[in-house]
Amino acid sequence: MVTPPIHTNRIIIVGAGLGALYAALKLTPRPVLMISPETLGEGASSAWAQGGVAAAMGKGDTAALHAEDTVKAGAGTVDARVARQVTEEARAHIAALTQLGTPFDRDDDGGYVLSREAAHSFARVVRVHGDQAGREIMEALIAEVEQTPSVQVMEGVLATRLEVKDGNVTGIWIQSSSKDASRPVLISGLAYLLAGGGSGGLFALTTNPPRIRGQVIGFAARAGAMMADTEFVQFHPTALDVGKDPAPLATEALRGAGATLINKDGKRFMLDVHPDAELAPRDIVARAIFAHTQAGMRPMLDTRDAIGAKIIEEYPAVAKYCEDAGIDPVTEPIPVAAAAHYHMGGIDTAADGRASLGNLWVCGEASSTGLHGANRLASNGLLEALVYARSCAESIVGSLSVEPAKAADAISVKFKTGGTAPKPELVAKLRKTMTDNVGVVRNAAGLKKALLDIAALEATDKDCEPFLNMTATATLIAAAALLRKESRGGHFRDDFPDAKPDMAHRSHVTLEQAMKVRTKIFEEAQ
């Protein structure tokens, strides 16, 4: 028996991270329904962000210089207009978060403590307790949301599919996010905002929370939304190589504070790779780390001389990760590896956050705004989520034909048994093929193998919507990577190791187009 559709006069937000929370507050007092697969505050990449929020707030720094660094890091595919817009808003969002109670680090004069991270020409990353920015910002936003009557949070619920009519989103299918799943339920609202994270968890070696496996990007793609820059995945150079899944992260701020990268022989190897050494763009550092790992040279992050015992108090998250792994960072270097960290690509979004489907907006890592290009500038991720959460909220309000009532009935869903959840063994195989064939270094043979593997895995479980969303996003990444026959930013192909000037532009693809690439590979293999 099918559960009847549910209608609400609320604006529906999928996700519960920074972008989702901030947008919900910006929509106040209009009624909002947030759909969260976890308890609020858990399972979101935002809460795991260690670096902070990039903002030009230091002496001599400007938004224009921040935008210039963003464009430079993006390796030729950043939308300069978007970079200017985002960087110009940065200060205002730092002020707003401060007003909400975020305890940003301050100096003795009350100014913000700023850290320098890779590819920034200034120290401009506003942080909290060293490496606690994501968690502390989330806590401030959650506290505010919990005091906001217009926002209802539905926890333990997973969005799996969009309902579309005549090119417009008219509803969203949801099910229980428990391992037993449930039968899907269709819920419709006034407008739809996707803020459900990226795709890093599609890779076996990742820094992302377990839920972040491309599901939101996947179901938007399956509904026909245009995608952009899906080949560009950023691999963080310094995930702790201690056998954990997800891999704990050693924040880039450590290198900004002088930590160095050494190999098993104690040699500082980045000096031979790039003039900026450890503070070179992330893709360059990640490839150097990967090469040393592949060669058995055991890359390590050495914080001993530059930071020493201060790491315990100034970077408590990293210190705790090391302690759990039996490493003393005060006296020992920390083993590291390059891990999938951030997806620059995603659902193609306009300046106001609109997707190509009507009545649909996107903010945060699930979106592709043109800000990051081929290689995200460190700590621009949280900033982008804030800027586009505001843009989306304003655009949604402007699009509504009538102003929604200031109150709406709370939604209650009783899920029925009988749904399907992804099979762990299939997810593990998908993640392995992504790391093995669509990882830090790519080539045609590996990408074709990945597409064939993805197709085979998908064929074994055609009825599981959450898994189909994962395979859709994996297909988009691999197909776009195969089509881009060059190396640029986070996308590196050893069969096309150089950047091609005529390809210094963003890419756009639909799932239908990516599937045609996959089908062609299958036919060639027969």
Determine the angle formed by the axes of helices 465-483 and 215-222, rounding to 10 degrees.
80
**Burial environment of residue 272 by CB neighbours within 10 A (0 to 12, 13 to 18, 19 or more):** exposed
Give backbone dihedrals phi and psi of 109, rounded to 5 degrees, phi first.
-95, 5
* Phi, psi values for residue 116, rounded to 5°: -100, 135
CA 230 to chain centre: 12
Rounded CA gap, 483 and 469, in Å? Answer: 21
Place of tokens 């307790």: 129
Contacts of 151 (CB under 8 A, 6+ apart): 24, 25, 28, 31, 32, 34, 145
3-class DSSP assignment, residue 220? helix
DSSP symbols for 392-448: HHHHHHHH-SSPPPS--PPP-----S------HHHHHHHHHHHHHHSSSSB-HHHHH
Q: What are the pLDDT digits (tens) for 222-248?
A: 999 999 999 999 999 999 999 999 999
* Closest listed residue to residue 223, CA positions, set 14, 446, 489: 14
Token pair, residue 6, equals 């549910």
Task: State residue 418's pLDDT score.
Answer: 83
Closest CA to 286 of 340, 207, 208: 340
Amino acid at site 425 = E
Look up residue 151 and give its two tokens.
């926002």
List the strands of the sheet with 346-348, edge to edge.
Answer: 367-368, 346-348, 227-228, 508-509
Phi, psi dihedral angles at 42 (to 5 degrees): -115, 145
Q: 461-499, pLDDT tens digit by residue?
A: 999 999 999 999 999 999 999 999 999 999 999 999 999
What's the Rg (C-alpha) of the chain?
A: 22
DSSP bridge partners of 34: 13, 153
The Cα 384–Cα 369 span in angstroms is 9
Q: What is the pTM of this model?
A: 0.94
DSSP 367-401: EE-SSSTTSPPTTHHHHHHHHHHHHHHHHHHHH-S
Separation CA 216–CA 365 (nearest Å): 10
Residue 158 pairs in a beta bridge with 175
List domains and CATH numbers for the chain.
8-232+344-416 (3.50.50.60), 237-338 (3.90.700.10), 424-525 (1.20.58.100)
**What is the pLDDT, as a whole number, of residue 97?**
93
* Residues tagged active-site: 282
Which residues of the chain are modeled with pLDDT < 50?
A: 1
The pLDDT score that the predictor gives to residue 44 is 65
Alpha carbon distance 7, 411 (integer Å) = 9
